A and B are shown apart, each in its own frame.
Chain A
Amino acid sequence: MKPFRYERADDVASAVATVTDDPRAAFLAGGTNLVDLMKMEVATPGVLVDVRHLVSHDIEDLPDGGLRIGAGVSNSMVAADRRIRRLYPMLSQAILAGASYQLRNLATAGGNFLQRTRCVYYRDIATPCNKREPGSGCSARGGHERDLAILGASEACAATHPSDMAVAMAAVDAVVHTQGPAGERTIPVNELLRLPGDEPWRDNVLERGELITAVDLPPLAVAANSRYRKVRDRASYAFALVSVAAAVEVADGLVRDVRLALGGVAHKPWRAFTAEQALLGAPATEENFHAAAEAELAGARPLPGNAFKVPLAANTIVSMLRALTEEAR
């Protein structure tokens, strides 16, 4: 672990200025990911700028019926919020499926989106990794492949994004608010996180010094009938092999609205637009669920060590759609 300085900025603008100007500075929220990486010298910031007290700690109602989650709200508080449990149950379930009580009490939405991959080679400075050390090569391919991506990977990187929360956020089309050197902007979650391409060291589209200040959940009727299912190597306290956030609305036997996103399969939460398109307006039948899942996974490029994720993802999608539509009947 390298020595570092800890700072508490007085306002968002000065926090943004510090991190913008100093390439060795980083924002600190709950610290549950960043501090771990610092101990392993995977991350070596010289200055930590604590931002937790600078951003909102509230979940506010928005005029359009949506909700705004301040970047200072703990993951635990988001999961426990009555409105979120009623209007977006999959989001609450996704958060509760992740980490542990203690970690969720510290973790924040911004930090959760920006947590780094759990790929074992990324986390070990004694092995090459393009994400950690651009151009050094990818150790994961041909190595421990169980946790790697089956969709959207590149030659340079097959890491997965580890978050559960972000999968549900992707499914509800959440939007983050940021404040950066160039001012404020909003970014849909589905565009915030990116695929590795040949720049796997870039997990997201944020500029240096750009701070996430809040996340908006848009009003979304279908989200009230939603669920999050996480399949993992033990019953608790493990990252997803495959996870599915699903919301469906069925009327007269037809799918009226649907949202599907997958975790554990790609470098970002994988919004299953292809499957959604196949399902919209179609009869809510087992065959159609299968066909939609298969269409989504047609582009999967599994590795020998994670080929099981393809049938697992398909089965889990179908299983979720079946459960949600059975309940609706």
Chain B
Amino acid sequence: MTVTSAGPSAVGAALDRKDGPLKVRGAATYAGEWPVDNPAYLYPLQATIAAGRITGVDASAALDLPGVLGVITHVNAPKLAWATDPEVAVLQSDEVAWRGQIVGAVVAETLETARHAAGLVRLAYEQRPHDTELRADRHDLHRPQHAALFGAAPGDLQDGSPADSALGDVDAGLAEAAFTLDATYTTPMNHHNPMEPHTGIAVWTDDEITLYCSSQGVHLHRSLLAGAFGVDAARIRAISPHVGGGFGSKVYPVVWGTLALMGAQLVPGRPVKFALTRQQMFALVGYRPATIQRVRLGADSDGRLTAIAHDVIQQTARAKEYAEQTVGATRAMYAAPNRSTTTRVAALDVPVPTIMRGPGEATGMFALESAMDEMASAAGLDPIEFRIRNEPAVHPEHGLPFSTRNLVACLREGARRFGWEGRDPAPLSRRENDWLVGTGVASSIYPSPRLPGNSASIHADADGRYTVRIGAADIGTGTWTALTQIAAEALGVGVEDVNLEIGDTSLPVASSAGFSSGINCWGSTIYAAADELRKLLDSEHGGMVPAEGIEASADMPDNPYMEQFAMYSFGAQFAEVRVHEDTGEIRVPRLLGVFDAGRIINPKTARSQLIGGMTQGLSMALHEASVIDPRFGHVVNNDLGGYHFASNADVGSVEVHYLEERDPYTNPMGSKGIGEVCIVGTAAAIANAVHHATGVRVRDLPITLDKLIV
């Protein structure tokens, strides 16, 4: 059997999901479903104050209950080796930093007993005044620092970029402008609600510690937990082949894992099962932080931007600083000689925010792309034409050329397919029965970065089968299928000859599924491993796989182009909106997106990603808002009856198209990130369409009927 390079391409084929049949049959094993012997169950206790300390614990009634194996609180919890990160460590002190924080847990023979016993544990508190209100006039706003990778690396924002940036003179640019805009947009907290809650089954023995979990990155979770418990990472095995959605919530927050392991330490050798309830998730798995964003734009009489300023205030937690790149997209979108961005945060007594699909870009682009629409009207220009006039030749801040940038083509192709031409730009220009009808457009952007820490191995059998191993994650995105296709292409064989293994720390290390970087990182690494295999075969075996088989591995190679080019995916999104004249109800019968995401690995799984992202964007536009009651300090609409996201009936036609262009610089596949660009811009397209339909400009998400009813 010979290995040739780049054979008939498996990449680009609309293959069915490899894991599809398993999922349809209910045979794909999710975290809570692993068959384990004689499990015990854990149920957590949550703080009922938002700030203060625990002054007393009375667990006697719980401990007296038959079937209770133990009650863990800060009084008796194992002391962790690394106890400073509130997204990892629990029960290390009597301090309460937010309402709903973990303050204890019960382990029992059954889930029902554990839950009952949890209600019997009495905690006494000394309450401090708390503060959970984000306001622009707060005096304690500060420039975020060292948020990148949560303090592990320098950088103000969590993508490693600075909080502020400036070029030219914004005031002068605004002063010379023929048209100006100064508007403030707000976005609320949005909570993570993947279908599968955060779940772990932990088994702690003297040699191995096993954690079946629902993870966007088993290696990151392992290293966080190994660090916390002060054990050698090699002792922990984290297993997560199938994940029922993550969206960012299964990357950093891992208190569920810490608790499951603490439970497992209590009953050594016995599996301990723990799944969060929906209500608990609202305090423990992270959320998109609320923002207040001021956007100022100036344009000359030809509609060319003279100034762009974007000033963001967002919430973070007093327990741990998180600050996302809400200004990030504004830095890359449009040309203007004078520009500035700033980021300030308010530290509140709230749970720790985390990355959520398009963290920063999704909220930032709601503001910028709404503002662009407002400016287009002010300048009397079609919003597409206005954007095209301000298309930059190179990255407007740091001046690097784009690896590929087909935003204009996306806008034009989208306009053609959507039927934009001939649109009457005047608000209130279309009425059908009792519905006001409007259309809107917005751009999308998301970087194509890489995360470090990837390695892959490939084992070739003499019979022509290849086993490709990498600890990557499939969070419903299609990784199982797409990486199989990439491996087949890299090896020059058919997909049927590739056996992929992912989602297990016993496999070579991999970065987490986040920042739309998965395929870029894991695919590049598999490509490198295939090269190694070829080299090994050529140098030592005359190109033939020996009878006993052969294995090669490689780390992710550096991509020198990353310093030379700005790498982003782009898109244009169009929305048709109907607003009921009597009730203000909002419907979105049609969304259409055209994306420039480089080469598409699998059009079928890519389509699901894009439709999913736009649907989530619709949900962000119209539905999602976590309501904190500042008197108590917690999210009061903390279930799926109160926290609304789009139901099936809210989603009409969602159409997606790709401009198929191979990016020469991003990676050997020619792909760019696809998972997040699709949620960026949707909310603005819908807000712009609502304005077109009704003449009402809603600058505060979500757009609910009370904002439109007169």
A residues contacting B by CB (< 8 A) are 1-3, 40-41, 118, 120-121, 124, 126-127, 139, 142-144, 231, 233-239, 241, 308, 311-312, 315-316, 318-319
* Chain B interface extent, by class: 20 to 34
Decide yes or no whether B706 CB sits under 8 A from chain A: yes
Q: Is residue B587 within 8 Å, beta carbon to beta carbon, of the partner chain? A: yes
Q: A-B pairs with the 7 shortest C-beta distances?
A: A308-B706, A236-B649, A235-B649, A319-B582, A315-B582, A126-B48, A120-B636
A315 touches B648 (CB 8 A): no
A308 x B709 contact (CB < 8 A):
yes
Given contacts A118-B641, A143-B631, A239-B641, contact A312 B636 (CB under 8 A): no
Please indicate the chain A residues that have their CB under 8 angstroms from the CB of B115 in the complex: 1
| A315 partner, pick from B48, B583, B636, B650, beta carbons under 8 A | B583
Return chain B residues, CB-CB under 8 Å to A2.
116, 119
Asked if B641 and A315 sit within 8 Å, CB to CB, the answer is no
Residues on B with C-beta less than 8 A from A127 are: 632, 636
Question: B434–A312 contact, CB under 8 A?
Answer: no
- B residues neighboring A (CB under 8 Å): 48, 112, 115-116, 119, 279, 434, 582-585, 587, 622-623, 627, 629, 631-632, 636-638, 641-642, 644, 646-650, 704-706, 709-710
Known A-B contacts A41-B119, A235-B587, A237-B647; A312 and B709 likewise in contact (beta carbons under 8 Å): yes
Q: Which of A231, A236, A312 contacts B650 (CB 8 A)?
A: A236
B583 contacts A235, C-beta separation under 8 Å: no
What residue of chain A has the Cβ atom nearest to residue B704's Cβ?
Answer: A233
Once the chains bind, are A144 and B627 in contact (CB under 8 Å)? Answer: yes
> Which residue of the partner chain, among B637, B642, B648, B705, contacts A312 with CB atoms under 8 Å?
B705
Given A118-B641, A312-B709, answer yes or no on A235-B650 (Cβ-Cβ < 8 Å): yes
User: In the bound complex, how far is the Cα of B647 from the Cα of A200, in angstroms?
Assistant: 33
Q: Tell me, in angstroms, the Cα distance from A139 to B629 when the chains sit together.
A: 10
Q: Which chain A residues border B627 with CB–CB below 8 Å?
A: 144
Could you give 18 example pairs across A and B, Cβ below 8 Å? A1-B115, A1-B119, A2-B116, A120-B642, A124-B636, A127-B636, A139-B632, A143-B629, A144-B627, A233-B623, A235-B647, A235-B649, A238-B647, A308-B706, A311-B710, A312-B583, A312-B709, A316-B582
Report the minimum CB–CB distance from A265 to chain B (whole Å). 14
Residue of B nearest to A2 (CB): B116
Residues of chain A within 8 A of B631, CB atoms compared? 139, 142-143
**Given A231-B583, A235-B587, A3–B112 Cβ distance below 8 Å?**
yes
Given A41-B119, A124-B636, A144-B629: A312 and B644 interface contact (C-beta under 8 Å): no
Could you tell me the distance in whole angstroms from the C-beta of A3 to the nearest C-beta in chain B?
6
Q: How far is the CA of A297 from the CA of B48 in the complex (A)?
A: 39
B587 to chain A: closest residue by CB: A235
A319 touches which of B583, B636, B647 (Cβ 8 Å)? B583
Known: A118-B641, A118-B642. 20 other contacts (CB 8 A): A1-B112, A1-B116, A3-B112, A41-B119, A124-B636, A139-B632, A143-B629, A233-B704, A234-B623, A234-B647, A235-B585, A235-B649, A235-B650, A237-B647, A237-B649, A238-B641, A308-B709, A312-B709, A315-B709, A319-B582
Option from A142, A236, A316 in Cβ contact (under 8 Å) with B583: A316
Complex alpha-carbon distance, A270 and B631, angstroms: 31
Cα–Cα, bound, A6→B709 (Å): 48
Give Cα distance in the complex from A308 to B649, angstroms: 24
**Chain B residues with CB below 8 A from A139, complex form:** 629, 631-632
CB neighbours of A236 from chain B (8 A) = 647-650
CB of B622 within 8 A of CB of A234, answer yes
Contact yes or no, B646 A234, CB < 8 A: yes
A3–B116 CB distance below 8 A: yes
